[in-house]
């Protein structure tokens, strides 16, 4: 970081233009003033000492050096959590979002411990009996053991039922025997598995008394706790270089007749008795699946956070960067004054708000469903599954696209790793394909939508997120109006029209003698589109209604700017979906022209508040990791300071000159 520098004068002026209370918006995004103060307290404890800062940029280190550094910082961060942060009133340990945000200061990519806290611990809570939790949770939370989560295999990812790893029960020894019968059964991609973890949760096909009972989770020790050597019967290692996540220690794992105690099967929802009898609780499959949506639910807010970082960087850069000279004899304008730059960036701000607010709403929905499940009611789980599937798919896709758009908006400097934009992109682009592939998840949502359409046709009650289908079944054509509610209803009409067309196509194929699954396969392109439209309508409705609720007691200026952002989001997507609107509503060219004019007017209204809006995300410089996005706006000083840290600048002449270039110049090569 650059010490003792003044704030760039252009950035100073931008902040003076802001006409709303920035902290008030921060409180809304954090969920209240108390949560903001708690988050800042956590950040002060963790970051004020400077232990998160690397003297040499992480990207300049070798792969091994980066991994070692990530482990070192993971241990430091773990000690801070254990010794200081858990004592803060109201802090919920590994589940606290402020901790995840603060950890970003330590890791430009990710910690090798990420899956320990993100999946190993939550799965113990979700899948273990009280007795098992009393054994494993203290070990995991006190970092006496380090865990990974091994589900995906070399040959299977999203299709869990196709996993090939086996766990066969031996009643004579009261043990499970784990095997990887094929190359494709090798566990693959598990974070922290390659070199860090000594335990992992393994998802395997359970066999007992000659019968397969499907996939079940097991806690498996894979390394010696003293030497860290892989145990006999275990082959484990790193999967190799990735596009990103290279400090995440993603690994592979294979078993050869490896034995674990019967008690290591996670038995909250199903168990194997000593004699090998398999016992499951009622609705076992649904209860197991309920814990699987946890990561998808949390991911929506997580990618919103990363998009917020990217647009903070890009907007601050755009306020400082000056380019071209459209009017002779006048200074080069700030690039944020160009309408095209506003078009690139302001939708990124509103999308970060939309996904963040929808993510919080989804978390509350998840907590309600989880509470119902604990009392035996799983009726709302299918809707949650459909919600989490499409929201995970669409939010990760949108966030990746808009982070890349932020990078483009920063021109050549956005290509610098020191901008942090390439690293943010590589991180979020990975989220689109893990914990469920984009297309597969949307097709899972589509199955729910097809069933909901049939329920609507039969006059049965509909769950809240698909209640709009009732009007479509009644053949009520949507009349266009450009109010917020009117646009949202139009988006729902688009989704309903596409769902209806999917049902018609499936039925048409089945009438010709085709089975349902074949008819489904021939409709999948339409089904994916229907699920995306449903998700988009749901985000728009949630964003608009939640903004109204969250700003009900806000100052007038905050209400105005937050509604302007939400309106921008609605109008942007109305223009993007103009073809669908023409197909499913009575919108016309005049209406579309009016929308385009309103969109451009909103860009102008938001222009002077752009820097204030990204300041409201309240990211410390340590968390942004960006030469372009620091609060002081000294982009050129920071770029040069970071460049000077490169190992290629450690001497004026590199050894390669004497070895290769000089002989070449003298004709000796």
CA proximity to 606, closest of 73, 4, 23, 19: 19
| CA nearest neighbour of 206 among 283, 270, 125 | 270
- Bridge partner residues of 203 (DSSP): 217
Nearest-angstrom CA–CA distance, 161 and 443: 16
Which helix (H) or strand (E) segment is 178 a member of? Answer: strand 175-179
Beta-carbon neighbour count of residue 667 at 10 Å? 6
* Spatial distance between the Cα atoms of 111 and 68, rounded to a whole number of angstroms: 11
The catalytically annotated residue of 302, 435, 546, 642 is 435
Q: Residue 576: which H helix or E strand, with range?
A: helix 556-576
Burial of 647 (0-12, 13-18, 19+ CB in 10 A): exposed
Residue 258, beta-bridge partner list: 178
Tell me which residue has tokens 């980066």: 66
SS3 per-residue string spanning 267-290: CCCEEECCCCCEEECCCHHHHHHH
d(CA 249, CA 239): 8
How far apart CA 395 and CA 399 sit, in angstroms, is 6
491: Cβ contacts below 8 Å, ≥ 6 apart: 533, 536, 537, 540, 541, 573, 574, 577
Alpha-carbon separation of residue 481 from 81, 485, 578, 595 (angstroms): 52, 8, 14, 11
Residue 435 appears among annotated catalytic residues: yes
The 3-state DSSP class for residue 106 equals: coil
Lookup: tokens for 444: 């899972």
In the structure encoding, which two tokens stand for residue 297, read together? 């639910």
Cβ of 137: how many Cβ atoms within 10 Å? Answer: 14
User: CA 293, CA 508: separation in Å to the nearest integer?
Assistant: 34
Closest CA to 34 of 94, 95, 91, 105: 91
Task: Report the SS3 class of residue 652.
Answer: coil
Residues 6+ apart with CB under 8 A from 415: 407, 422
Neighbours of 328 (CB within 10 A): 5
Strand, helix or coil for residue 618: coil
Measured between alpha carbons, how far is 646 from 117 in angstroms, rounded to an integer? Answer: 33
Q: Active-site residue numbers? A: 435
């Amino acid at each position: 970081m650059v010490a003792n520098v003044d704030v760039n004068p252009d950035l100073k002026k931008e902040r003076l233009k802001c006409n709303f209370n920035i902290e008030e918006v921060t409180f809304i995004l954090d969920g209240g003033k108390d949560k903001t103060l708690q988050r800042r307290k956590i950040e002060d404890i963790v970051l004020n000492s400077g232990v998160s800062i690397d003297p040499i940029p992480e990207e300049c280190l070798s792969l091994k050096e980066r991994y070692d550094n990530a482990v070192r910082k993971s241990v430091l961060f773990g000690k801070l959590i254990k010794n200081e942060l858990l004592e803060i009133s109201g802090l919920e340990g590994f589940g606290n979002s402020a901790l995840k945000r603060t950890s970003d200061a330590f890791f430009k990519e990710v910690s090798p411990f990420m899956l320990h806290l993100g999946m190993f611990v939550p799965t113990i809570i979700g899948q273990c009996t009280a007795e098992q939790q009393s054994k494993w949770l203290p070990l995991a939370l006190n970092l006496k053991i380090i865990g990974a989560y091994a589900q995906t295999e070399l040959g299977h990812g999203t299709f869990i039922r196709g996993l090939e790893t086996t766990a066969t029960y031996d009643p004579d020894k009261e043990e499970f025997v784990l095997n990887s019968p094929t190359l494709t059964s090798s566990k693959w991609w598990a974070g922290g598995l390659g070199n860090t973890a000594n335990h992992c949760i393994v998802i395997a096909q359970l066999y007992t008394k000659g019968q397969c009972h499907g996939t079940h989770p097991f806690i498996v020790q894979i390394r010696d706790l003293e030497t860290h050597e892989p145990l006999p019967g275990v082959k484990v290692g790193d999967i190799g270089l990735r596009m990103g996540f290279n400090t995440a220690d993603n690994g592979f794992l294979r078993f050869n007749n490896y034995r674990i105690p019967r008690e290591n099967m996670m038995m909250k929802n199903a168990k194997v008795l000593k004699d090998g009898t398999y016992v499951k609780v009622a609705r076992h499959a649904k209860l197991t699946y309920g814990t699987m949506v946890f990561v998808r639910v949390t991911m929506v807010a997580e990618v919103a956070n990363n998009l917020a970082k990217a647009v903070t960087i890009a907007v601050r850069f755009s306020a400082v960067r000056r380019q071209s000279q459209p009017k002779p004899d006048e200074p080069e304008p700030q690039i944020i004054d160009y309408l095209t730059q506003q078009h690139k960036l302001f939708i990124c701000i509103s999308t970060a708000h939309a996904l963040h607010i929808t993510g919080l709403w989804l978390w509350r929905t998840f907590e309600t469903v989880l509470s119902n499940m604990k009392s035996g009611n799983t009726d709302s789980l299918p809707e949650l599954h459909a919600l989490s599937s499409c929201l995970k798919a669409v939010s990760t896709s949108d966030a990746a696209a808009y982070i890349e758009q932020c990078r483009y908006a920063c021109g050549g400097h956005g290509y610098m790793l020191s901008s942090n934009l390439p690293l943010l992109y590589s991180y979020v682009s990975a989220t689109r394909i893990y914990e469920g592939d984009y297309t597969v998840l949307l097709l899972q949502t589509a199955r729910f939508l097809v069933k909901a359409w049939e329920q609507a046709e039969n006059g049965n009650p509909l769950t809240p997120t698909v209640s709009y289908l009732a009007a479509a079944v009644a053949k009520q054509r949507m009349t266009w109006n450009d109010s917020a509610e009117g646009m949202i209803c139009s988006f729902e009409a688009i989704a309903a029209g596409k769902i209806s067309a999917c049902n018609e196509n499936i039925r048409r194929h089945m009438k010709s003698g085709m089975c349902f699954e074949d008819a489904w396969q021939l409709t999948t392109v339409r089904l994916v589109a229907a699920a995306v439209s449903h998700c988009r309508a749901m985000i728009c409705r949630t964003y608009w209604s939640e903004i109204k609720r969250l700003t009900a007691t806000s100052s007038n200026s905050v209400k105005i700017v937050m509604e302007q952002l939400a309106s921008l989001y609605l109008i942007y997507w109305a223009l993007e979906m103009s073809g669908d609107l023409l197909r499913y509503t009575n919108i016309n060219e005049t209406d579309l022209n009016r929308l385009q004019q309103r969109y451009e007017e909103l860009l102008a209204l938001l222009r002077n508040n752009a820097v204030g809006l990204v300041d409201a995300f309240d990211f410390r410089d340590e968390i942004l990791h960006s030469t372009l996005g620091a609060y002081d706006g000294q982009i050129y000083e920071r770029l040069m300071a970071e460049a000077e840290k490169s190992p290629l600048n450690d001497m004026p002449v590199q050894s390669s000159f004497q070895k290769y270039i000089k002989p070449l110049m003298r004709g000796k090569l």
